Each structure stands twice: as C-alpha cells, then as structure tokens.
Amino acid sequence: MTSESQLREFGRLICQVAAGGRMTREEACNAYRQVILNEQPELQQGAFLMAHITRGP
C-alpha cells in the first residue's frame, strides 16, 4: 500500500516534470520503479508517464 507521503512526493515529481523540470537519475529510477511495481495509482502513473514523454529527454 502506498503511503500518503509517497503519493504526495510522486505528485510533486509529476508537477516538476510537467513544468519542464529535470529529474535526477535517482528520482527517475525511483519513479519508474514505482510505476513498474504498480506502487502508485494508475492515474498517477499515467500522469507521470505523459509528463515525462511530453517533456522529452
């Protein structure tokens, strides 16, 4: 089960990436691990993936 703090941190990362910010390697690794292991709700996963894809490399 995902804790509220994990949900908030993941949401903060989504906002950061959506605004054009960059992730550290550690942040990216942790975020994708949470997506792959289905540790975040599907809505959060989709928002993160779209923000990252839209932002580009």
- pLDDT in 10s for each residue of the chain, 57 residues: 568 999 999 999 999 999 999 999 999 999 999 999 999 999 999 999 999 999 876
pLDDT at site 56 = 72
pLDDT at site 16 = 95
pTM: 0.85
Cβ atoms of 45 and 37 closer than 8 Å: no
pLDDT at site 57 = 67
Cβ atoms of 51 and 17 closer than 8 Å: yes
Cα Rg of the chain, angstroms: 10
